[in-house]
């Protein structure tokens, strides 16, 4: 009986380790994390918005733009697509969601920002798009990259006008967590505010939610094993950078946006972040919007919220 119990325990342990390794690889490694799977899990029906996206993408690609590059603190070559716009002193740096890239997530909003005179930088976060990296940063590593992108943007200011630059950070999903955690850092005075759309609190909490609701699996010990592996391989823990904690140090204004029908990153995470945000804050909950759908679900409300927010912080 003892030998039988030990054998069963060994089989269960091996199964847990194998399951954890599988979960880790398909979630954290660039080569295994697939955009199609993320779209399916998010539950948003994007097909209904394809005509508008095609129209706006055509206009966006007609605007002058170029590829730009920086190097991260740990030596990765990071890519962005830069639109000079009207070459004024307003700028927005945009951060995309998990398994996406800058040029995909901001097709719709490019119409708003470029027509409002902003310079626009669409970042490919590490391990995404044309940026280097094998392990996904989930905002923890990306917030440090964001600081380097901010300084890059400041270098694009017209001669003698660097101090006049006014920079917004806009993030969606993982990018939303990125800009919120960046807001807790010591930033140049030219960074005036952050816009966060459907951000999660931490990788640990969103993974736990997905395991429970979509796979009907317990988070323990899978999350704990993944956390240990990620600390060793990617250099950060899954709850080391928690947006709901990091924003307690924020001083710049924030606009938080979330869809009420988001099943991938539940709206309660937005509420938790909002309650903890230490700086000036406002929020927009778009009724009936799924994950990352808020802009397309109610463009009028979204753009009005942006108008009101930026009108209070920019010259």
> What are the pLDDT digits (tens) for 33-42?
999 999 988 8
Instruction: Report whether 192 contacts 253 (CB < 8 A).
Output: yes
Range of the domain at 274: 33-202+241-313
For residue 122, give the CATH number of its domain: 3.40.50.1820
Q: Does residue 13 form part of some domain?
A: no
pLDDT in tens, 138-178: 999 999 999 999 999 999 998 888 999 999 999 999 999 99
Q: Does residue 222 form part of some domain?
A: no
Spans of the chain, pLDDT less than 50: 5-15, 17
Give the model's pLDDT for residue 245.
97
The structure tokens listed for 65 are 């733009």
Q: Does residue 68 form part of some domain?
A: yes
Q: Which pTM was predicted?
A: 0.92
Q: Does residue 278 form part of some domain?
A: yes
Give the model's pLDDT for residue 41.
86
In the chain, the number of structural domains is 1
Percent of the chain whose pLDDT exceeds 70: 93
Q: Does residue 207 form part of some domain?
A: no
Give the model's pLDDT for residue 59.
97
Q: Does residue 294 form part of some domain?
A: yes
Q: Does residue 198 form part of some domain?
A: yes
Q: Does residue 225 form part of some domain?
A: no
């Amino acid at each position: 009986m003892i030998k039988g119990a030990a054998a069963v325990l060994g089989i269960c342990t091996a199964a847990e380790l194998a399951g954890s390794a599988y979960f880790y690889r398909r979630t954290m490694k660039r080569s295994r994390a697939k955009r199609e799977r993320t779209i399916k899990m998010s539950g948003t029906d994007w097909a209904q918005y394809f005509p508008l996206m095609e129209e706006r993408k055509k206009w966006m690609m007609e605007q002058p733009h170029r590829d730009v590059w920086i190097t991260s603190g740990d030596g990765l070559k990071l890519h962005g697509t830069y639109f000079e716009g009207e070459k004024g002193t307003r700028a927005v740096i945009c951060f995309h969601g998990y398994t996406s890239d800058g040029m995909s997530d901001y097709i719709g909003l490019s119409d708003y920002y470029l027509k409002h005179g902003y310079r626009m930088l669409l970042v490919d976060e590490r391990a995404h798009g044309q940026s280097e990296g094998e392990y996904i940063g989930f905002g923890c590593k990306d917030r440090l990259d964001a600081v380097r992108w901010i300084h890059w943007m400041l270098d694009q200011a017209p001669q003698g006008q660097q101090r006049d630059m006014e920079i917004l950070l806009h993030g969606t999903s993982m990018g939303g967590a990125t800009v919120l955690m960046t807001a807790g850092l010591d930033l140049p005075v030219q960074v005036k505010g952050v816009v966060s759309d459907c951000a999660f609190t931490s990788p640990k909490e969103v993974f736990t939610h997905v395991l429970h609701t979509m796979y009907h699996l317990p988070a323990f010990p899978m999350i704990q094993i993944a956390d240990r592996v990620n600390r060793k391989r990617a250099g950060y823990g899954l709850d080391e950078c928690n947006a709901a904690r990091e924003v307690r140090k924020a001083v710049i204004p924030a606009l938080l946006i979330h869809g009420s029908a988001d099943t991938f990153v539940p709206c309660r995470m937005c509420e938790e972040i909002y309650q903890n945000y230490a700086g000036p804050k406002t929020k927009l909950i778009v009724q009936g919007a799924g994950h990352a759908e808020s802009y397309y679900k109610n463009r009028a409300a979204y753009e009005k919220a942006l108008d009101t927010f930026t009108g209070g912080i920019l010259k």
